[in-house]
Amino acid sequence: MAGFQTFARGRISAFANMLDTDVLCQPVKTHGHRGVIQWLEREQADCFTSTIVIAQIAYWIRTKQGRARERLQHWLAESVEALEGRILSFNTATAHVWAEQKLLLERAGTPMPVEDSYIAATARRHNLTIVTGNDADFRRPGLKVFNPFKEIPGGSLSKVKS
């Protein structure tokens, strides 16, 4: 199973990325996208995620049973450890970015799902490019978006090995 290496805490580079749930989970998906998994392995030093993404994954894992659940819990624990210093919280500064973003989107008649709006605000707060397959929702708040499922060749693996 593909994983992240641990990197020292550091400044967020101008080319840093915010991984959305659908991208971060590719290494443990039954039919994970080979190109996305390889991209994650190459670009991991510049990849961040959000506590909201971790919460979404933790919930998803809790919907599983038996060995699959145990394997996914182990993967999440390893991923969180490897991403130490690169999991960004929804804090007070981000809350103000979110409030402004929510107001603008509501006035435009294009509100976002709440969890996605928290992830978007975190990415905006830190000037990150959001890496997601859900590019339509995340383009609305004016984020820089990269959809690796469209941009990277590679297709699905028939089975991702653990």
Q: Do the Cβ atoms of 119 and 52 come closer than 8 Å?
A: yes
pLDDT at residue 108, rounded to an integer: 93
Q: Which amino acid is at 41?
A: E
- Beta strand pairing call for 87-88 and 129-131: unpaired
What separation, in Å, do the N-terminal and C-terminal C-alpha atoms of the chain show?
4
pLDDT at residue 13, rounded to an integer: 62
pLDDT at residue 15, rounded to an integer: 79
- Element (DSSP H or E) covering residue 17: strand 17-19
Going along the chain from its start, the domains and CATH numbers come out as 17-151 (3.40.50.1010)
> How would you class 29 by CB atoms within 10 Å of its CB: exposed for 0-12, middle for 13-18, buried for 19 or more?
middle
Question: Which parts of the chain have pLDDT scores under 50?
Answer: 1, 4-10, 158-162
Q: Which amino acid is at 22?
A: D
